[in-house]
């Protein structure tokens, strides 16, 4: 969002227009496709009631937990997000893009403080920040990575970022230790550890890429081009791959069963990569609609 940012209204308008094409259009398409799929699936089930109204229809594209279209008997918990659940991140990014000038001012004046604060909010369990999630719809999960992108832009790229990242992670861990005693007795601690693992994974990925690039290793651009397609197809197809591999391998050992989760993800990445290459070559306009040209 902040690449080429010069704080002018013209640049802001151009960025927002770009986000309509790269975020909003794929967001609507994938949610619509999944909505139709679930409609066909539930039409053959007798334990489902329908809440057919304009409000519930619109809710499928924003927050299905408030006005669900399909109500399955015995299903008490619905996700706080669109019907295509993991696109909550895209939903939050669109909201953050709208207020990006305000966030840029914060990062420009207090870069480290902004990054650390947003990181800590991201690590905390959503239930503690319930009203911020329900009212703002800006999402602390997306805010941290949005601020991270702004921080990298502000400080002059990834080289400077990696000189600072050790200190930032150290500070984050100090705050984490402060919450361990309280969180260790509830699910929030697990979520906090999950976020730490994601953060370390991001650092490891960028560090590895930096080392390999310096050694002259060239990365396959086809894989990076397919990243949005892989992300978009993850929710719908990874569970299918798990079922397929369980039926094929019939694992009996716990470790083998756990490894199927990783195998399902790898299988999905390969299929999505092939699908992206084929659609990009033979039906590029459809590929652009599905990925936003990302």
What confidence tens digit (pLDDT) does each residue in 224-264 have? 888 999 999 988 888 888 888 888 887 777 667 778 888 89
Q: State residue 169's pLDDT score.
A: 62
Nearest to 14 by CA among 58, 211, 184, 6: 6
Q: Domain extents for the chain?
A: 1-91, 99-219, 221-291
Q: What is the residue-averaged pLDDT of the chain?
A: 77
Does residue 199 contact residue 119 with C-beta atoms inside 8 Å? yes
- Tell me the pLDDT tens digit for each residue of 115-133: 888 877 777 655 444 444 4
Which helix or strand (DSSP H or E) is residue 246 part of?
helix 227-249
Residue 66 reports pLDDT greater than 80: no
Please tell me which of 24-38, 44-58, 184-198, 219-233 the model is most confident about, judged by mean pLDDT: 24-38
Residue 93 reports pLDDT greater than 50: yes
Residue 134 reports pLDDT greater than 60: no
- Tell me the pLDDT tens digit for each residue of 261-291: 888 999 999 999 999 999 999 999 999 999 9
Residue 46 reports pLDDT greater than 90: no
Query: In the structure, what pLDDT confidence band is assigned to residue 32 with cuts at 50, 70 and 90?
Result: very high
User: Which tokens in the block code for residue 181?
Assistant: 């005693």
Backbone angles phi, psi at 188, to 5 degrees: -60, -35
Nearest to 224 by CA among 148, 294, 153, 288: 294
* Number of other CB atoms surrounding residue 41 within 10 Å: 11
């Amino acid at each position: 969002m902040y690449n080429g940012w010069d704080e002018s209204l013209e640049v802001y308008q151009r960025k927002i227009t770009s986000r309509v094409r790269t975020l909003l259009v794929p967001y609507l398409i994938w949610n619509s496709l999944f909505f139709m799929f679930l409609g066909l699936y539930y039409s053959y089930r007798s334990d489902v009631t329908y809440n057919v109204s304009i409000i519930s229809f619109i809710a499928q594209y924003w927050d299905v937990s408030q006005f669900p279209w399909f109500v399955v008997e015995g299903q008490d918990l619905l996700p706080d997000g669109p019907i295509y659940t993991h696109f909550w991140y895209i939903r939050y990014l669109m909201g953050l893009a709208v207020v990006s000038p305000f966030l840029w001012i914060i990062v420009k004046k207090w870069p480290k403080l902004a990054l650390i604060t947003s990181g800590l909010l991201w690590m905390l369990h959503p239930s503690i920040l319930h009203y911020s999630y329900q009212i703002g719809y800006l999402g602390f999960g997306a805010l941290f990575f949005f601020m991270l992108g702004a921080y990298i832009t502000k400080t002059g790229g990834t080289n400077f970022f990696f000189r600072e990242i050790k200190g930032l992670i150290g500070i984050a861990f100090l705050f984490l230790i402060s919450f361990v005693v309280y969180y260790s007795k509830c699910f929030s601690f697990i979520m906090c550890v999950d976020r730490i693992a994601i953060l370390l994974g991001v650092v490891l990925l960028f560090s590895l890429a930096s080392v390999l690039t310096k050694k002259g290793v060239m990365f396959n651009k086809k894989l990076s081009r397919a990243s949005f397609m892989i992300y978009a197809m993850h929710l719908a197809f990874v569970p299918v791959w798990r079922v397929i591999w369980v039926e094929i391998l019939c694992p009996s050992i716990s470790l083998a069963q756990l490894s199927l989760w990783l195998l399902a993800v790898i299988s999905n990445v390969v299929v999505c990569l092939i699908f992206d290459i084929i659609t990009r070559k033979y039906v590029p306009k459809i590929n652009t609609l599905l990925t936003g040209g990302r």
